[in-house]
């Protein structure tokens, strides 16, 4: 494996400029509505039809499915397009890195994708858009069309394990990079948060860009509290100066 210059871990904070609320910030979803956490908790979801119905209604309103990439997502994609490899490890499920132009194969979605659905019985997969069309047509808890099982978002709910293959790839990238940028993540949700420590342990320069303090700030070489939409493009331009210049206009 070639040693990449930079690897990026992105959390909810990178998408707030796209209109997608974070979870644990001062105005985060869990602070505004603690009950909302039940809607994405596997045990509650599987055991309570009313939770599922509420979950489908929440998905109908989800900003993650209607928002577009912002300056931070575009800056990451521009660095990749300039010829400097920048593997992305994301805790987000919104798919905005890909919409910004990052090749899907270079984005590791630790927590899955809100743009798809999966059957909890036969594991058949489909698009979230198709499932939501069924909800709009009157199915308040649409079952799997293959086996009649319970459908869920193709995201990792609370109480579910991360895909070990995806996590393994993320750890390998983290160990190999020279610079590890943790952007918009509270670094509180394990095992994703632990990647920051893995990067530092393996000699990477650890840079944390986040509005609130994180448990890994003391281990970081640099902590940036500026808005991500301006701070990340600047950081990436600086990193690009170690290789080749980014395209004009970034």
Alpha carbons 187 and 193: distance in angstroms, whole number = 4
97 included as an active-site residue: no
Catalytic residue among 73, 111, 123, 202: 111
Which element (helix H / strand E) includes 168?
A: helix 164-176
Alpha carbons 26 and 23: distance in angstroms, whole number = 9
Distances (CA, A) of 153 to 45, 116, 127, 131: 11, 6, 9, 9
**CB 181 within 8 Å of CB 228:** no
Closest CA relative to residue 17, chosen from 100, 80, 133: 100
Alpha carbons 192 and 123: distance in angstroms, whole number = 24
Please give the positions annotated as active site: 111
């Amino acid at each position: 494996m070639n040693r990449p210059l930079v690897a990026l871990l992105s959390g909810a904070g990178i998408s707030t400029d796209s209109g997608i609320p974070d979870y644990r910030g001062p105005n985060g979803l869990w602070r505004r509505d603690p009950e909302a956490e039940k809607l994405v908790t596997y045990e509650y979801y599987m055991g309570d039809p009313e939770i599922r119905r509420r979950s489908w209604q929440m998905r109908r309103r989800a900003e993650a499915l209607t928002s577009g990439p912002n300056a931070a997502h575009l800056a990451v994609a521009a660095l990749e397009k300039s010829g400097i490899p920048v593997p992305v490890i994301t805790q987000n499920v919104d798919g905005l890195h890909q919409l910004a132009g990052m090749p899907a194969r270079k984005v590791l979605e630790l927590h899955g994708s809100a743009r798809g659905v999966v059957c909890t019985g036969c594991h058949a997969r489909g698009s979230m858009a198709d499932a939501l069309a069924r909800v709009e047509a009157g199915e308040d808890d649409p079952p799997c069309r293959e086996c009649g099982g319970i459908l869920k978002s193709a995201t990792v709910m609370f109480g579910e394990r991360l895909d070990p293959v995806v996590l393994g790839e993320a750890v390998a990238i983290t160990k190999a990079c020279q610079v590890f940028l943790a952007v918009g993540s509270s670094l509180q949700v394990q095992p994703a948060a632990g990647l920051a420590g893995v990067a530092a342990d393996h000699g990477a320069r650890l840079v944390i860009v986040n509005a609130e303090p994180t448990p890994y700030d003391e281990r970081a070489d640099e902590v940036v509290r500026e808005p991500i939409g301006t701070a990340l493009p600047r950081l990436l331009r600086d990193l690009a100066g170690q290789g080749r210049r980014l395209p004009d206009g970034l």
